[in-house]
Amino acid sequence: MSNSHLFLKSCFPRAPLNNGIGRYVCQLQRVTLKFCKNNGSSKGMREFIENNLVDFAKENPGVVVYVKPRRHRTPVLVGEYLNGGREWLNCRNSTKEDILKWIELLKTQNGPSSTMRLRKMWHTDVPSIQGAWTPFMLRSPEMNLVTFPSEEYSTPLDIEQSATEKLLELYKEEKQT
């Protein structure tokens, strides 16, 4: 990622109005489709209105759909959200399938998304339940009486026997027998 995104406005993941805690509420309130009746750049939009728009409106009764013919203008898709956000999409020369995908995207998001860079992939109101970890957590109380630096506690727990030590041990054993 290039550094240009550092100047993009950043935010942390949030959901508007505690969405999803009790039930899910679709955040998209209004979709406006603007298109031209003659121009070729609106062809996909016209096909979309003929074939898919009624199904979309039936599937999503919570979303108001406006269709506005605008003479000699590029086709445009505008979504308006419950939190007041507004997303504007240019649909010049896009096909019926493209527009269906974009309108699905407008439906599934909570507000305009393209202007924000997410800083975290996680949000919580309760960061710790068992308490934050400290180096003294779950240590035995005898550690209170030790004076540091101490030889005993500054060696690692799992030092393996070196080859030299092993040989010396073998040698000693042999000597004893």
Partner 1 sequence: MAFLARNLVALTRQARLLDNLTHSMRCLSVTPQFCQQPKLELPTTADLQEVSKEEQKECQKIFDKVNQQLAKKEEGRLFAVVHLCGKQFKITPGDIILVEGYWPPTIGDEIRLEKVMLAGAKDFTLIGAPLLEPGLVDVKATIIEKTLTHTKTHFKKKRRKQYLRINFQRSPNTMIRINSIEVKQQVDKPSPSPINENRIF
Other beta carbons within 10 Å of 151: 6
Instruction: Return the structure tokens found at 148.
Output: 């540091």
Distance CA 104, CA 84 (A): 19
Q: Give the pairing of strands 76-81 and 86-90.
A: antiparallel
Pick the closer one to partner 1 by CB: 10 or 50: 10
90 contacts 41 by C-beta, under 8 angstroms:
no
When asked if residue 144 is in the footprint of partner 1 (CB under 8 A), the reply is no
Region of 36-44, 51-59, 65-73, 153-161 interacting with partner 1 (CB under 8 A):
153-161
Q: Which of 6, 126, 145, 163 binds partner 1 (CB under 8 A)?
A: 126
Q: Which two tokens stand for residue 30?
A: 């209004």
Site for partner 1 in 57-116 (CB under 8 A): 105, 107-110, 113-116
Residues that bind partner 1 (CB under 8 A): 1-2, 4-5, 8, 13-15, 19-21, 24, 26-27, 105, 107-110, 113-118, 121-126, 129-130, 133, 137-140, 143, 152-153, 157-158
